[in-house]
Amino acid sequence: MEVKAIEVFKRYLSLNILKKIIITYFLCWIGFLFSFSVGKLLLYLSSILKSNFIAKPAELAKTVGTAKFNAVSSAISSTGIGNIYLSYALSYVVSNFMGCLIIILALGAIGYLSKKDLEKAKSDDEKKIIIKDYQKYLLILFIFTVINPLTGLIGKDLSYYDLIAVLPHGLFEFFGFAIAVVAGVEISNKILPIVKRETSYKRIIALTIFSFIFIFIAGLLEPFDWFIYEYAKYYGIPLTSTFIKAYKNLFFYLISIFEF
């Protein structure tokens, strides 16, 4: 099973960057829905068994996941930004892009540390074990970053229908995360190749910039999405129609700005 998974991962690594981004993007959505469903399952089991013990892991993950945003939000607010929307938007951008940088560095670190261990190896058998472990740990971290359990568990109190509120900014946010994952994998494979690919550091820097662009767009949309969500819930308006009307009005407003 492990050998087969590694072979599949090698085929993924051999793909060009665009194909890797597209595949990783869809895997990020699948991972989000999986972790979101796990959170819902924990709540369901907790209610049946009349115990908070099962729900505690999800609640802890939610606390940890929101702590970074709260810290960033507090820091940005202390700079004196008076616009509430801008303050929240920048908080989302900084918080999520920090997550992307952590993903890139963590994946790259596996290649760097494994290469250092390989240089210290004294026998061929030891080198084979290091390479095998390197491939395994890189795959495990790749799966973990794609599943992204904290993001899914943060929204465990939402219903599946409420995920409409995640869709607009999520389209951009998960592209940002997917590009970050690909950039991290490319760095690791460049430091200690699993498959032979010519990827320059300039291209990796470009990927990081594109990751920031998508995260920035998502950050601008996220406060807007949650405002629409709270507005629809407060007035008892259907969520889908509210989002359609809000984004239609936003679209026409943006067109009017750029009209000459």
Per the model's pLDDT, the better-predicted residue between 143 and 88 turns out to be: 143
* pLDDT mean across residues, the chain: 83
Q: Percent of the chain scored above 90 by pLDDT? A: 45
Least reliable range by pLDDT among 77-91, 101-115, 234-248: 77-91
Examine residue 234 and state whether it is found in any structural domain, yes or no.
no
How many domains does the structure of the chain reveal?
Answer: 1
Domain hosting residue 125, numbered range: 2-222
- Residue 82 clears pLDDT 80, i.e. is over it: no
Encode pLDDT of 191-217 as tens digits: 999 998 878 889 999 999 999 999 999
Residue 63 has pLDDT above 70, yes or no: no
Q: Lowest-pLDDT range, 5-9, 59-63, 65-69, 238-242?
A: 65-69
Nearest to 6 by CA among 106, 108, 113, 137: 137
Q: Is residue 238 in some structural domain? A: no
Query: Does residue 242 lie within any of the structural domains?
Result: no
Specify the pLDDT at position 15: 92
Q: For residue 161, is it within any domain? A: yes
Asked whether residue 249 is assigned to any structural domain, the reply reads: no
Check if the beta carbon of residue 24 is closer than 8 Å to that of residue 12. Answer: no
Q: Grade residue 72 by pLDDT with cuts at 50, 70 and 90.
A: very low
Indicate if the pLDDT at residue 68 is higher than 50. no
- Biggest alpha carbon distance in the chain? 71
Residue 174 included in any domain: yes
Whether residue 163 is predicted with pLDDT greater than 70 in this model: the reply is yes
Could you tell me the pLDDT band of residue 147, with boundaries at 50, 70 and 90? confident
Confidence of residue 226 (pLDDT cuts 50, 70, 90): confident
Q: Decide if 247 is inside a domain.
A: no
Asked if the structure places residue 96 within a domain, the reply is yes
Judge contact between 28 and 174, C-beta under 8 A: yes
Backbone φ and ψ of 46, nearest 5°: -65, -40
